[in-house]
């Protein structure tokens, strides 16, 4: 009965007994996601879906988390774009239903592939740009200034090596291969 009632938008006073547990888990995931650079609601919504044996509607979600329908629509749409949530339709129902993609590892790989890889590549390109500017400057300078530019060139190239290493690391992660930090450290030596 309580299960069935939960399906309708039910008055705030008769929450299912497990609601508290649900919310705690959702909030924990929300904090993780927020820290990781996503909207906090994405983590919360995903968790509610992940904990539900049945696909849910936006109405149930906004009821559970006390969110406006537009907030749900926004974050849910983003989750769908990231492949973290799937739309499904139940026969005889007009509403959209949603279920969580439950393979978290797959999700992680996708995010790293689409987002982190980009990020690190852009940084790498920017360092390359910086190097070009330094090369230009070097040609016009001599003496102490040229020495200084040479120092900077070494440092920038080390930064670039770092991002390249990061790129490699993310690629390995995305490919599901083993990571060996020893490789990573090799890019660094003291001064």
Partner DNA sequence: ACGTCTGTTCAAGAAAATTTGAACAAACCG
Partner DNA sequence: CGGTTTGTTCAAATTTTCTTGAACAGACGT
Positions in the binding site for its own copies (CB under 8 A) = 2-3, 16-18, 20-22, 24-25, 27-29, 31-32, 35, 37, 47, 50-51, 53, 102-105, 119-120, 122-123, 126-127, 129-131, 133-134, 136-137, 140-141, 144-145, 148-149, 151-152, 155-156, 159, 162, 173, 176-182, 184-185, 188, 190-191
The pattern of x and - marking residues 93 through 122 that bind DNA according to CB under 7 A reads: -xxx--------------------------
Q: Is 73 in the site for DNA (CB under 7 A)?
A: yes
Q: Is 88 in the site for DNA (CB under 7 A)?
A: no
Helix (H, G, I), strand (E, B) or coil at 9: coil
Least separation in angstroms between CB 77 and DNA: 5
> Which member of 51, 71, 161, 184 binds DNA (CB under 7 A)?
71
What tokens were used for 40? Answer: 């906090």
CB 70 within 8 A of CB 37: no
Least separation in angstroms between CB 182 and DNA: 34
Dihedral angle sign, alpha carbons of residues 50, 56, 57, 59: negative
The label of the residue with tokens 């969580």 reads: 100
Dihedral angle sign, alpha carbons of residues 31, 35, 36, 38: positive
Phi, psi of 182 (to 5 degrees): -60, -40
Which of these, 122, 55, 127, lies nearest to 86 by C-alpha position? 55
16-55: contacts with DNA (CB under 7 A) = 39-41
């Amino acid at each position: 009965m309580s299960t069935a009632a939960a399906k309708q938008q039910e008055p705030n006073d008769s929450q299912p007994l497990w609601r508290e547990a649900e919310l705690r888990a959702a909030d924990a995931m929300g904090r993780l996601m927020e820290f990781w650079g996503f909207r906090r609601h994405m983590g919360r919504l995903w968790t509610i879906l992940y904990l539900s044996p049945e696909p849910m509607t936006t109405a149930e979600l906004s009821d559970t988390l006390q969110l406006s329908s537009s907030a749900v629509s926004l974050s849910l749409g983003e989750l769908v774009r990231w492949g973290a949530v799937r739309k499904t339709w139940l026969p005889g129902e007009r509403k959209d239903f949603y279920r969580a993609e439950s393979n978290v590892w797959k999700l992680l790989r996708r995010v790293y592939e689409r987002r982190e890889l980009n990020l690190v590549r852009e940084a790498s390109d920017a360092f390359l740009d910086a190097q070009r500017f330094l090369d230009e400057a070097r040609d016009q300078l001599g003496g102490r200034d040229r020495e200084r530019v040479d120092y900077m060139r070494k440092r920038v190239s080390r930064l670039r090596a770092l991002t390249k290493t990061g790129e490699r690391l993310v690629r390995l992660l995305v490919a599901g291969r083993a990571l060996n930090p020893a490789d990573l450290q090799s890019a660094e030596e003291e001064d």
